[in-house]
Each structure stands twice: as structure tokens, then as C-alpha cells.
Amino acid sequence: MRPMQNDPHITLDTAAMFRAVLDTVGEGIVTIDSASTIVVVNKEVQHIWGYTQDELIGKKIELLMPENYRKRHAEGLKRFIDTGVPRIMGTRLELEGLRKDGTIFPLEIRMAETTVSDRILFTAAVRDVTDRKTGEAALQRRHHIEDLIAAISTKFINLPSNEIDAGIIDALRMIGELTGVDRSWVALLCDKKLTLCFTHEWCAEGISLTHSDLQPISVKEIPWAMNQFRQVKTIYIPKVVDLPPEAKTEKKHLQAYEVQSVIMVPIVYRRALMGIVSFDSVRFEKTWTTDDMALLRITGEIFANALERKETEEAMECLMRRNELILSSAGEGIYGVDLQGNTTFANPEAARMLGCTVEELIGKPQHATLHHTKPDGTPYPREDCPIYKAVQDGTIHHIEDDVFWRKDGTNFPVSYTSTPIREDREIVGAVVTFKDITERKREQAVLEHSISLLSATLDSTTDGILVADRAGRIVNYNQKFMDMWGLSTVVPTNQDHWQLMTTVFDQLKDPVSFAQRLKDIYAEPDAESCDVIEFTDGRVFERFTQPQRIGGKSVGRVWCLRDATARKRAEEALQQANNELEQKVEARTRELRQKQAQLVQAEKMASLGQLVAGVAHEINTPLGALKSNIDIFTRSVQKIKELMRDPKIPQELRESPDITKRLTSVETLNTHNQTAIDRIVMIVSSLRKFARLDEAELDEVDIHEGLDNTLILVQHELKNRIEVVKDYGKLPLVKCYPNQLNQVFMNLLVNASHAIESQGKIYIHTSHKNGTIVVEIRDTGKGISQKDLQRIFDPGYTTKGFGVGTGLGLSIVYQIMKDHKGMIDVESELGQGTTFRIILPMT
């Protein structure tokens, strides 16, 4: 502008061009004089302030300034005029302007002074920087937000879990204040995600309605909102009144709290909806910038992380508390050891077992405290301690049988496990768990005793024993079993014992039935059985088996083999001896029975003899009288006939045919009487002679007389159907028991007559040669079968029907012949007849 004033060639055209330039400049140009009166303005000033040029020319510049700048301007202008020292010339200042409409706006101003015609003029180029300022504010706000987020995030990271709730409320406040909302709150899904519970809330001052006492809302009531939350969508409702009909429940709830605008952000952790964070505007309808919305979303994430951390930490704490509880209540003693071997912690049970307090253990070298001496009393070098080894080699050491020492110097048996503790792969110590095994050792001792007893029993028993489980695997066996089975090698347990059994198949007499028997037994797990196994080499085993039971349940099977060879042989020998004895007894019995039969027979004969004697006597009396009388009759008839020849008797009487005839008849009949009585007398005589009771001792006997007497007695058997043919040779007298011999004849003759069913003959042949008498009695009867022939001399053997024969006859015959040192033999042919031959020695 200075050249304008100095150039005389400036024309009006120049002034016009100046004006045009002035008006096209993008800045507002205001020129004032030293009295602050506006002398020039361009069009841009009109845009900026809203005044026309006319309204401004001649007016004081203060018109365009807010009140607080006017005094400052006046002071600065005066100072410049007085001193000539400009304060603000040439520099850009940011000030504020006052528009015609009364609004204040930021402006940037640059000023310059000119002197025209001795008048000092001040020109200012002004730019409305409202836009620029707004952008700056937004940027700044964004910085705020970022700072806030960073602050909140950092805060939550360092916040202990028990302060997280307070932290959330604080964050709600900060965000609420920043975003200018009236209320911000958090609701979390609970009750298996079925309800929304209001957990955290902040309200701006003056907002009285709070959610803190609100009942949980069922998620079913708000499907519209829940649906979007589940899709991790932020719900932005600029105007609650405009909510769609499907969100009527949501609308009702929001309006109940006078909410006009709201942003609700889902809190999602690992894709699972945890709850929502909400920012309500109550006092007016509010719009949010995208930055705000981003902030709110991030807030949701932060909350999600914080809440999750809270939950995790609470769970962890719970776990820790539980661990602690376990540690203190465990039946096992537990203590920790650090790298130096000092006890770091111990549970009460450990202290109790060691007879001290937990405090007394902690910080002390554990080895020296409780593990200093071996069970045998020798010192336990620390280097050998497995508890430290766990620390050194990083592996778990488990010791079944050791001792720990109590504070009072006593010890107790323990089993313990030392497990290295690692932190970030570095071994930092070990935890030792131990158990007092006094009771277990006692039980073990009892068990060992039982087992050793069992084992000794197994080894000392003469039986071979094999135990198999249900699957047939070998559980146990004794050496004896292997010896008996002929197996020299050691058979591993767990092997299928079926194989073992089959190894002897080729040694068995009957392997097929043995195998079948085994299968049968396996088919019945509860079966007990006993069998005899015979080997081809003559050995005999008894095999017992019974199931092994635990509590009534079959868990396996015990096989027991007993070598019964010796016993079997003894039994066989015994059996043989028995058989022989039985045979002897049988023979003796037969002999005795024959003797008995003979005795019975003798008794019978004696009785018969007595009977015969009695009968003979009784008969003989009347017989005597009869015989005598008949004789008298004969004599009398004879006498009468003599008397009748007396000539003194008249002839007609003498020769009367009546008398003669009668006398002749009496004579004839009397002759018959004589014959009859003689026969009776002979029978009775034969009877008593047969019985020969008076000749029971050895006697010289005429065999033929015995035969004849017997024939007389069996005459009734023979009658007319059987013809007896006698062929008697010349026999000397024989020394014998006549009554017994007669008994033999009687039996043979009766049998012969029985053998002849109708007509037939009996041949009796006697002879003697070489000092023996032979009597043959042959019949033409039905004969005897070969089978019967072998047994006819056995006592009690009969082919006659019950009640017909006693079955003693021939056995008695046999015995009598034996007693006479004689013999009897028999020949027979069925249908042809039988011949009995008795041979008697003559001496």
C-alpha cells in the first residue's frame, strides 16, 4: 500500500482497481484511523460480520469486537500513538469477533499501519477461523478420547479385581462427562444368560432416575435389542420416540426412564455376549459423532476385558482358596522345598504328623529337620535325598518305604513323592507329599505273612496247584504242579493256561474226554469238579477244581492235581485182595451152606427117623393085631374045613355048596389079606430100615438092600408109568453111612422120576472094579441143559418151580459123596435123558 501513496500517477482508475482487488481478497479488510473509526471495509467483512459496508464506515471498530476485547484494543491503540511502538503490528493474532447477530467467532488478524496525508491509518486483514477452530476442537476432543481410552485401559490393567466394579463406574462417569450424556450404565447377562441385570451406573448431576434399583429384565422381553446385541451390533437410537413397533418393549423401558436418545453397546468377550453398556441422553435428543460411537464401542471392549478378568481372577481366587483348603485339610502331609532345601510351606497335616507346628517347619532345611537318618539308624546324606534329587534332575521321585523323623526324635514309616515345581521352565523348588504308612505297613505285614504262608503252603503241599483268572491266564502255580505236569521250564504268569493243559495231551490215556471236560468246566465258571486223569505211563492224577471267589463272585479258578498213582495201585491191590477174599468167602460160604444143608438134612432125617419110628410103632400095634387075626382066621378056616369033614356032620350040611363056597371065599380073601398085610409090614419095615436110625454109624452095608428099600419108598412116584430096570452086579458089603447113602439113592431116584414126564424107564446098574463100587442111575427123561448142568450141585439151585424142590437135593448128594470120599458125575442130553454115576471107594 505504500507505493500507492508515493506514486503521483495514481489515478481514479487505480482507485477502482484497488477496490476490485480489495473486494476479491478472501480476507476481510478493515481500515481504521487513529480514532478507531472505520474508514475502509471490503465485501468479505460483510460476510464475516454480517454488516453492510455502509453500516460500518464511520463507525467505531469496537462494534466488531466482543466486550472483553474493546478495552484491550483501546489501550493498545493509545500506546502505539503515544509511543509509536506497535504491539501487534505485523503479527498474526487470534482474536474474537462480534457479529451483527451477536455471536462471537474466532478470527485471525494481521495488522499494518500506513500514513496517508499525515493520517495514520491501521489496516487489518481478518479471517474467520471458525471452521479451522472447530476442526481443531474435534481433533483435540479425539485426543481426549484417546487419552481417556488409554487411561481407562491402563487403569483397568492395573486395577485389582476387587476394584474393577468401582473402576467401571468411574469409567462410566468419565465417558459420560466427555460425551455429555446424562446417564451411563452397564447391564450384564446373568441367570444362565436369561436375564439382564443392572450392575453399574453413573448419572450426571440433576438426574434423579437411576437403574440401580431396577429389577432384572428377561431377555425374552426384548428380542429386538437382544437380536442386535447378539450380532455384536451397537444400537444407536437418536430418537426413542421413533423406535419401530417391534421394539415396543425396549421403547417402553427407555421412556420409563425418560430417555430421549441412547447408544447401547454390546459387551462381548470371545464372541460371547456378556452384557451391554448404555449411554442415555435424558434432557434432550442428542446426536453422537462417529468418534463418540467408536469410543463407546471400545469402552464395551474394555469393560468386557475387565469383567472377564474380574471373573477369571475371582475364579482363580476361589481355586486358590480351594487349593489352600485342600492343602490344609488333605490327609497327606504336604510341604514345599526351595532350591536351598528349606521348607517354604507346609500344611497342618504335615506338621501334625511331624509333631510340630507349621511355623516350626517353614524356613528350616527340611532334610535336617525330618529326613536326617535312615530307617536303619545310619545318617542320611543330604546328597542322596530323593527330595532334592527332584530339584536337581527335574523328575518326580516316589519313595514307597522310608522314614520321617518327628520333632521328639521318634520316626514313622512314610511313602512320599517329591515333585519339582517349575516357573517359566525354571525349577524353583519341589513339593513333597507324604503319607504315614504305619497302618499300611502293618496291613502289609499281615498280608505278607498270609502270602508267605500261602506260598509256603503252595510249596510244601504234595498237590500240584495252578490258579488261573477268569480269562484263563495263569495267576500262580507251585513247583509241584510243574513237576507233575512234567514241565521243567518256568511258565510265565499271564500265559493262557489252556496251552499248559494241552501240553500233556499226548501223555494221556484219553485226551479227548479230558479236553471236553476242561471245556465243560470253563462253560460253568461256578462249577466244582473232581476227575481222575490217567496217563499212558500208568500215573493217575486226581484233578480237583473249584472257582476262586471274592465276595461270592467268581474271579478265577484253582486247579489242584494230586498224584493218586500209589493210592490207585494200592486200591487196585486192595481190590484184588478183596476179590480173592470174596472168592474165598464165597467158596467157604458155599461149603458152609452145603454143610448147613447137610446138617439140615441130617436134622430132617433125624426127625424123619423119629417120625418113622413113631409111625412104625403106632402102625405096628394095629398091624400086629391085624396080622395075628388074619393068621387066626386062616387057621380057623382050616380047622372049620377039617371039622366039616367029620362024618358025624350030616352030609347035606357037609356038602352044602353054600357053606363050602363061603368057606372057600373066606379062605381066598384071607390069603389076599395075608398078602396085603405082608406088604404093609414090608413097607413099614423098609421105612425104618431106610431111616436106619439105629445104624447112624459107619457100617458094612449091602448097597442093593439100600437101593431096594429106597425103591419101595419111591414106588408111589414111579407107579405104573416108570419101569425100573435093575442090573445088579455082584457087590461086596461097603463100609458107609447107610442112611446117608439111602438118601443119595432116594434123591437120584426121585429126580429121575421127575425128569420123566410121562412114560419112561429108570435103569439101575451096579458094578465094582479097582476097589470102587459104581452105581449108575439112568433115566429116559427130558435131560438137563449144559448151562444148568454146571450148577446142579450148587446149593439153592433149582429148575423146579417154587415150592416143588428145595434146591438142596443134589448139593446134599454131592456133599454126602464127598464125605464118603466118593465121587458123583453126571451126563445128560436134552430130550435123551440123564445118567448119574456115583463112585464109592470100598474101604
Partner 1 sequence: MTDAATAPPTILILDDEELVITSLQTFLDLETPYRTVTFTSAKLALQHIRDHDIDLVISDYLMPEMDGITFLSQVRELKPDIPRIILTGYADKENAIKAINQVGLFQYIEKPWENEDLRVIVRNGLEKMQLLKKLQMKVQEITQAHAELNTLNQEIIRAFA
| Interface residue list for partner 1 (CB under 8 A) | 613-614, 616-618, 620-629, 631-632, 635-636, 639, 677, 681, 684-685, 688, 694
Nearest approach in angstroms of CB 628 to partner 1 is 4
Q: Which is nearer to partner 1, 363 or 622 (CB)?
A: 622
Q: Which is nearer to partner 1, 738 or 833 (CB)?
A: 738
Nearest approach in angstroms of CB 616 to partner 1 is 4
Quick check: 72 and 53 in contact, CB under 8 A? no
Q: Which is nearer to partner 1, 504 or 626 (CB)?
A: 626
Q: Which is nearer to partner 1, 324 or 694 (CB)?
A: 694
Closest by CA to 718, choosing from 653, 777, 631, 765, is: 777
Nearest approach in angstroms of CB 681 to partner 1 is 6
Rounded to whole angstroms, the Cα distance separating 699 from 737 reads 6
Q: Which is nearer to partner 1, 546 or 629 (CB)?
A: 629
Q: Which is nearer to partner 1, 442 or 639 (CB)?
A: 639
Nearest approach in angstroms of CB 740 to partner 1 is 20
Could you say which DSSP state residue 544 is in? E
Q: Which is nearer to partner 1, 630 or 810 (CB)?
A: 630
Q: Which is nearer to partner 1, 321 or 679 (CB)?
A: 679
Quick check: 532 and 541 in contact, CB under 8 A? yes
Q: Which is nearer to partner 1, 572 or 678 (CB)?
A: 678
Q: Which is nearer to partner 1, 360 or 631 (CB)?
A: 631
Q: Is 775 exposed, middle or buried (0-12, 13-18, 19+ CB in 10 A)?
A: buried
Is the Cα dihedral 645, 649, 654, 658 positive or negative? negative
Question: Rounded to 10 degrees, what is the CA torsion of 550, 552, 557, 560?
Answer: 100
Nearest approach in angstroms of CB 654 to partner 1 is 22
Closest by CA to 45, choosing from 111, 113, 103, 124, is: 124
How is 363-431 classified by DSSP, letter by letter? TSBHHHHH-SB-TTSSB--GGG-HHHHHHHH-S-EEEEEEEEE-TTS-EEEEEEEEEEEEETTEEEEEE
Q: Which is nearer to partner 1, 251 or 692 (CB)?
A: 692
Q: Is 304 exposed, middle or buried (0-12, 13-18, 19+ CB in 10 A)?
A: buried
CA distances from 535 to 486, 539, 540 (A): 12, 5, 6
Nearest approach in angstroms of CB 819 to partner 1 is 25
3-state DSSP call for residue 222? coil
CA distances from 226 to 65, 195, 199 (A): 55, 11, 18
Closest by CA to 545, choosing from 565, 522, 574, is: 522
Write out the three cell numbers for 151: 487411561
Q: Which is nearer to partner 1, 105 or 633 (CB)?
A: 633
Nearest approach in angstroms of CB 699 to partner 1 is 15
Rounded to whole angstroms, the Cα distance separating 343 from 757 reads 125
Q: Supply angle C-alpha 339, 345, 349, rounded to 5.
A: 135
Rounded to whole angstroms, the Cα distance separating 57 from 260 reads 49
Nearest approach in angstroms of CB 689 to partner 1 is 9
Nearest approach in angstroms of CB 684 to partner 1 is 8
Nearest approach in angstroms of CB 604 to partner 1 is 18
Within 8 A by CB and 6+ apart from 221, the residues are 249
Nearest approach in angstroms of CB 686 to partner 1 is 12
Rounded to whole angstroms, the Cα distance separating 343 from 336 reads 6
Rounded to whole angstroms, the Cα distance separating 292 from 296 reads 6
Nearest approach in angstroms of CB 618 to partner 1 is 8
